Amino acid sequence: MINLILFGPPGSGKGTQAAKLVEKYHLLHISTGDLFRYEMGNDTPLGKKAKSYIEKGELVPDEVTVGMLRNKVEANPDAAGFIFDGFPRTIPQAEALDELMAEKGSRISALLMLDVPDEELVKRLLERGKTSGRKDDTDESIIRNRIEVYKSETAPVFDYYQAKDKAEKVYGLGSIEEIFERLCNRIDALVA
């Protein structure tokens, strides 16, 4: 079973690459954004809890997010593995994910970080903003702030997995196919 964390700042190409990796390796893509939309849209108990925090402009507590992840993992016992996208964002979330995987008799195989320079991230997000409908993709100052928040709050998760010898940077510039090939080379080395 391959369990990957696809990691990187906003605009690094995680969503694009996750879709291609899912297809090639038959993994289940778990995006926290999708989980939130599903749980809230279906008015589940966890969705109602999440909504109550979001409506107050507060962050959803880790236990709610981890509960959603647990539901998704448990609903797919026959999955060949998982790609986690948008999670974990903090070290406590990484620890909770490791615990969840251990409970299921599994583990995180690797965290693969798409390494992209800040100026390229800004360029990509502004371009995406022309068609995404996301307001936060159209304002350069908001984009730069998102990148800084990623560096201060989320980037330490890379160090957490690197200390376990499970984190690798993957050069995130080039064509979609070139980046995909680099990711596949790393994944193939894991299962060899």
Q: Give the span between the Cα atoms of 179 and 171, in whole angstroms.
A: 7
Catalytic, out of 49, 72, 89, 166:
89
DSSP state of 137: G
Catalytic residue among 70, 123, 128, 144: 128
Query: What's the burial of 100, exposed, middle or buried (CB within 10 Å: 0-12/13-18/19+)?
Result: middle
DSSP E strands, the chain = 2-7, 28-31, 81-85, 110-115, 167-171
Rounded to the nearest 5 percent, the helix, strand and coil shares of the chain are 60, 15, 25
Q: Is residue 14 annotated as a catalytic residue, yes or no?
A: yes
Q: Which of 130, 141, 183, 139 is CA-nearest to residue 14? A: 183
Which of 49, 72, 124, 146 is catalytic? The answer is 146
Catalytic residue list contains 146? yes
Q: Which of 37, 134, 151, 164 is catalytic?
A: 134
Clarify whether 144 is annotated catalytic.
no
State the DSSP H helix or E strand holding residue 126, giving kind and residue range, or none if neither.
Answer: helix 118-132
Q: Catalytic residue positions?
A: 14, 89, 128, 134, 146
